[in-house]
Amino acid sequence: MKIDFKKMDGLVPAIVQDSISGKVLMQGYMNEEAVAKTKESGKVTFYSRSKDRLWTKGETSGNFMEFVSMVSDCDGDAILVKANPRGPVCHTGADTCFEEENSSKTGFIDQLRAIIKDRKNNPTDQSYTASLFAKGINKVAQKVGEEAVEIVIEAKDDNKALFMGEAADLLYHYLVLLEAKGYELDEVMDVLIERHKK
């Protein structure tokens, strides 16, 4: 990561994004010391221009943002920080400083897809996912069929916990099937987007 701290008197804008939902949470400023402390402490830290010192988000409220990763932009004069917020981000009590709700967790699907891909490419004996790939496409497809039947059965009852468990199983095995076939979920999204246009 190459950041040009000289462009703005030692400070660069830092955009913080929820690592799971992808929602933009807030914007602050970082200097070299704030970047180092963020990486070292695991909590997103800024340079506060009003306090004229380093400021760790949540040091007063307890609503820390757990650091996940950071990258600089193409010009090296801005930082994108990915984090997991532990409570509301804005001092007003809102989820974000842009008054947007941050409740969606669908971005986790991308993390799960990456894990599934890794299990395929770097299998271990302890991995259930790797064992599915080892058994071949027929077994993976069979598991999707089994899970589909099980969710239909649970849909007829009123036990939310059992239904959610089967829904999670179906989604997981469907993602494994896509990976086994060498297809991307984005390709499925393209089909849905194209259908939506009609």
Determine, yes or no, domain membership for 101: no
Q: Which residues pair with 72 in a beta bridge?
A: 79
The structure's pTM equals 0.77
Query: Looking at the predicted structure, is the pLDDT value of residue 7 above 90?
Result: no
Residue 143, C-beta contacts closer than 8 angstroms, at least 6 positions apart: 132, 173, 176, 177
H helix and E strand count, the chain? 6, 6
| In a shared domain, residues 78 and 117 | no
Domain harbouring 169, CATH code = 1.10.287.1080
Determine, yes or no, domain membership for 96: no
| In a shared domain, residues 120 and 60 | no
Determine, yes or no, domain membership for 2: no
pLDDT, tens only, 152-177: 999 999 999 999 999 999 999 999 99
pLDDT band at 68 (very low <50, low <70, confident <90, very high): very high
The residue range of the domain holding 120 is 108-197
Domain count, the chain: 2
Domain harbouring 49, CATH code = 3.10.20.810
pLDDT, tens only, 121-136: 999 999 999 999 999 9
Long-range CB contacts for residues 109-117, cutoff 8 Å, separation at least 24: 109/171, 109/175, 109/185, 111/20, 112/172, 112/175, 113/175, 113/179, 113/185, 116/175, 116/176, 116/179, 117/179
pLDDT, tens only, 74-121: 999 999 999 999 999 999 999 999 999 998 888 899 999 999 999 999
Query: Residue 71's pLDDT is what?
Result: 97
| In a shared domain, residues 69 and 118 | no
pLDDT band at 138 (very low <50, low <70, confident <90, very high): very high
Task: Assign 14 to helix, strand or coil.
Answer: strand
Query: Residue 9's pLDDT is what?
Result: 85
Mean pLDDT (the chain, rounded): 95
| In a shared domain, residues 68 and 113 | no
